[in-house]
Amino acid sequence: MTDREWQDRYEITSVKGKIWKRSEVQARAMKMTTTLLADTPRNAVLEAVKLVLDDETFMRQRRGMVPARVIEDVAFEAFARLTRKPRA
């Protein structure tokens, strides 16, 4: 999905009316997640954030929300996915 398609689908809109691109949300969520998981390789964090942003079930619930809230939700979801212990 392109940035434009992602923008049209989820409409993550600031209080000033700017619709954020996927790459903008991704960059901010990466920064937050990297801070939470300082010992985790950057590539692993990037993949986790990308997977969350591509997860339609997760993102559908955030349609029309403000960017700060979405960034926080994406970062914490990526954190949770990276720290979950695999089931035996």
Every domain of the chain and the residues it spans: 3-82
Mean local confidence (pLDDT), 14-27: 95
The backbone region for 11, taken as left when phi is positive above 0, alpha when psi lies in -120 to 50, beta otherwise, is left
* CA pair distance 88, 50, nearest whole angstrom: 26
Mean local confidence (pLDDT), 40-60: 95
At what angle are helices 22-36 and 42-54 packed, to 10 degrees? 130
The pLDDT score that the predictor gives to residue 88 is: 53
Least confident of 43-47, 56-60, 83-87: 83-87
